[in-house]
Amino acid sequence: MDLSEAAALRQQRSIKQTNRFLRKDSADLLPLDGLKKLGTSKEGQPHNILQRRLLEATLSRNRLNNRNVKPSRSHMVQSHSVHSDTQADETDLIQVMCQCFGMDMMVTIDTGCTLNLISSVSVEKLGFKAQIISNKNEDHLGPLQHNLQTVGHLKLSLVIGQTEIDLLFTVVENNRMFISLGTKTLKFLKCVIDTEKQMLVLGNSIREQVHFVGKHENEVSME
């Protein structure tokens, strides 16, 4: 090896060593924020660290946005209990989200009544007062609803999760907002109330899970 070749080899080694130290120094200048320094490996290069941080920031922002997403309440009919008179009783209600003619509604799952009930004030808010079917014969509402006066009946189409069903509701005179599904409908939909997972399992051919309101609003998952 002559002197020119030896000099060229030394110069190449010097350039490689300089680049290695420059990459390491550039990585040290970055505020790692608790990340373990990875030396001069590929993952520890400045551009990889920046890409990783941008990805983590994006994922974190998306998770935060998803947690804050709730169904629009501008057109939502909230449902209370036909049995309770205090706000404390309302916290024990089992309610799920559904849709009625494109309007979001909270429906109470009422295992204390065989019939589906809707209050007269709820009918007015939905704009279905003219569709009430008058009925002089009062339905047997059950012992817990003995003080309610029957106004008539109303047919509504509800969408619970992915399940659409036409239901007959008994309209009762009451100034509280409530819409409830009774045991007759719950049995027809083969509903299972899972209090541990806070969800309602329903459906005949396809079983699906609808979370209770207040836990995972408007979330629906298929089995």
Look at residue 46 and tell me whether its pLDDT is greater than 90: no
- Give the pLDDT confidence score for residue 106 in this predicted structure: 93
* C-alpha–C-alpha distance, residues 165 and 150, integer Å: 23
Look at residue 101 and tell me whether its pLDDT is greater than 80: yes
pLDDT tens, 148-187? 788 899 999 999 999 999 999 999 999 999 899 999 999 9
DSSP H or E stretch at residue 170: strand 163-173
Under the banding of pLDDT at 50, 70 and 90, the label for residue 191 is very high
Average pLDDT, integer, range 90-112:
88
Average pLDDT, integer, range 95-110:
92
87 CB burial (10 A radius; 0-12, 13-18, 19+): exposed
- Give the pLDDT confidence score for residue 206 in this predicted structure: 87
Q: What is the CA radius of gyration of the chain?
A: 32
- Give the pLDDT confidence score for residue 30 in this predicted structure: 46
pLDDT tens, 67-96? 444 444 444 455 555 554 544 455 678 999
Look at residue 130 and tell me whether its pLDDT is greater than 70: yes
* C-alpha–C-alpha distance, residues 79 and 70, integer Å: 17
* C-alpha–C-alpha distance, residues 87 and 93, integer Å: 11
**How many C-alpha atoms does 219 have within 13 Å on its Cβ side?**
15
Name residues whose C-beta falls within 8 Å of residue 138's C-beta, 6 or more positions apart in sequence.
149, 150
Average pLDDT, integer, range 12-40:
52
* C-alpha–C-alpha distance, residues 130 and 98, integer Å: 22
* C-alpha–C-alpha distance, residues 35 and 43, integer Å: 12
- Give the pLDDT confidence score for residue 88 in this predicted structure: 42
Under the banding of pLDDT at 50, 70 and 90, the label for residue 145 is low
CATH class name, domain 87-222: mainly beta
Nearest to 75 by CA among 96, 116, 106: 106
- Give the pLDDT confidence score for residue 74 in this predicted structure: 42
